[in-house]
Amino acid sequence: MCGIVGYVGSRKVSDLLLEGLFRLEYRGYDSAGIAVHDGGAISLRKRAGRVQELARLVDEQPVEGGVGIGHTRWATHGSVTDANSHPHVGGNGEVVLVHNGVIENHDTLRDHLQSRGYVFQTETDTEVVAHLVAHHLDERVKLGDDPGETETYVRAVEITLTELKGTYGVVALFRDLPETIVTARLGSPLVVGVGEEEYFVASDASPLVGYTDRVHYLSDHELVVLTPEKMDVRHRDNGRVRPSLQTLDQVADDTDLGEFEHYMLKEIFEQPKALENAIRGRLDEDAATARLGGLNMTPRQLRRIDRIVLTACGTSWHAGLVGEYVIEEFARIPVEVEYASELRYRNSPLSENTMTFAITQSGETADTLAAMRELQRKGHPALAICNVVGSTIAREADGGVYLRAGSEIGVASTKAFTSQVMILNLLALHLGRTRHLSFPSGERFMRRLRELPEKVEQALACHEQVKEVAARYHAFDNYLYLGRLYNFPVALEGALKLKEISYVHAEGYPAAEMKHGPIALVDERTPSVFVIPKGGIQPKVMSNLEEVKARGGPVIAIACEGDERVAEIADETIFVPYVEEHLQPIVTSIPLQLLAYHVALLRGCNVDRPRNLAKSVTVE
């Protein structure tokens, strides 16, 4: 949650900060602000609302300087106001900082600081951090530390961090220490970009694209001091450490809208390419299997696996449900799918031969990271299926597979979901071939995987039809989404997409469960969206569809091309190409993504920046 950007160098910093905040706005868009050091004083500009509102303020009240920090907020503590916007000021203005995360003991610290005369202007936990740094800075000076020395300020930050309980990504400026930024992290991601006599810092790499391709991802308990001349990296336990520089492979096109009106629509249409990237180089023709070297496990080790636990949140959890079905069918290994938010606090009995996977687009999801660490703490190898190279989960996992889906900026995940399902199919093939799956079956599996990008391209042809369906149904306030077996998780995902960006109540169910309660909701104002492609269980789902029609409920059906039986009964039928059942979620999810998108547009919602949501959930 929230986006941070900072810079020290010779560029016009206000323009750079604003550009960075626009790129980070998917992380939070309640309010935004910047602080710029001109060498003598620090100027603040803050405004509730979107980053565009802040940009207008900066146009009206320009700020000059080559050092600055910025923040776009997703509110946790305190309402959405100009005052609660970051950056926040500590003491008498000697400290200005921005912060991501949650300080759990902020009430206790606030009481302590107020007893010492500190006056609070906001409701945020971040102002507590700012005042606490100012307090310890004052204490260091009283002890004789030189107020002109960088070490005095660094030590004040270090002492402050030891008193914080919770998570933080902090970037600070100091009034009396020009051309210096101090940044630190625990549980909230930060990355430093390395330029020529300039440095950047941000919550993720997107603001750095086009400025530098050399980055250092901060680890927990790292603190970095940045000046135009150097980067000084320190670890709480290890002292000064050498920066671990990596090459940033993201390109500017990843964050450009191009011909599309919204990132969500762009990312929906990028799915054929994303799926191609997911399988590129991962199909082994000679062995009729998937090549997943990142698992860091030999075939002999894989043969000993007797149970798999997939843990994730939100859309990634739905992908995990598909993974459960496909791995059990083709690898014959029992699979459980756990909400990461629950698994991290449970004492789940896991055998020595249990294989665990954390599934995450961002690689920073707080609950998923905590669940993975808990599994590792108990001695279980924890692997990851992740999209973002250099993310915390990608770096801390014992192995895993990258999605290669490219940047996903729209808050509602689309191409990450289908890419995750593709990777889970690759995993099922890989595990199946280490066990009982025959060579010809492996070849057939691979052929079907290769066909998928083209099948998704064909599915996208329903766009205009879905647009028309949305025009007829966008005013309805309740939806039911129904599917069975592989398409039950698709029903859950379709309902989630509608809720996320349209603010419409929607529920996903296994179609057969309708008669066990939810059918009571069916009426002429509650459309039922049936995911009903061809397959062994389709006749059963048809019976459920007819039960809804018999009670006057409108039906929108997602069916295979040429399925006239479904078209005769449903009020609306959206056709997609036929693929085998274990791959159907990748194809059937396409019209549901488009339906949510167009319903949201017609209801006047912001599809890329839905209310109350942020892309990367880095707080519990």
Q: Which of 46, 266, 455, 615 is catalytic?
A: 615
Q: For residue 240, count other CB atoms closer than 10 A to its CB.
A: 8
Name residue, tokens 């994303």: 274
Nearest Cα residue to 318 out of 18, 44, 592, 605: 592
Separation CA 434–CA 442 (nearest Å): 11
Nearest Cα residue to 451 out of 577, 356, 289: 577
Q: Which of 2, 313, 386, 560 is catalytic?
A: 2
Cα distances from 508 to residues 13, 59, 108, 162, 254, in angstroms, run 47, 47, 43, 45, 32
Written as six digits, the tokens of 320 are 């995990």
Name residue, tokens 């190409």: 577
Based on the number of CB atoms within 10 Å of its own CB, is 214 exposed (0-12), middle (13-18) or buried (19 or more)? middle
> Has 313 been annotated as catalytic?
no
Written as six digits, the tokens of 149 are 């020395």
Separation CA 583–CA 587 (nearest Å): 7
> Has 2 been annotated as catalytic?
yes
Name residue, tokens 């991601």: 189
Lay out the sheet containing 199-202: strands in order across.
Answer: 42-48, 31-37, 67-73, 3-8, 199-202, 191-194, 214-217, 245-247
Alpha helices by DSSP H, listed for 352-483, are 366-377, 392-396, 415-433, 439-459, 463-473
Separation CA 479–CA 489 (nearest Å): 16
Separation CA 233–CA 241 (nearest Å): 6
Strand ranges for 236-304 from DSSP E: 239-241, 245-247, 283-284, 289-290
Q: Are 255 and 209 in contact (CB under 8 A)?
A: yes
Q: State the distance between the two ends of the chain, measured CA to CA, in whole angstroms.
A: 10
Q: Are 113 and 130 in contact (CB under 8 A)?
A: no
Separation CA 71–CA 21 (nearest Å): 7
Helix/strand/coil (H, E, C) string of 357-383? Answer: EEEECCCCCHHHHHHHHHHHHCCCCEE
Separation CA 83–CA 93 (nearest Å): 15
Phi and psi for 330 in degrees, rounded to 5?
-100, -25
Name residue, tokens 């919770």: 166
- Catalytic amino acids? 2, 615
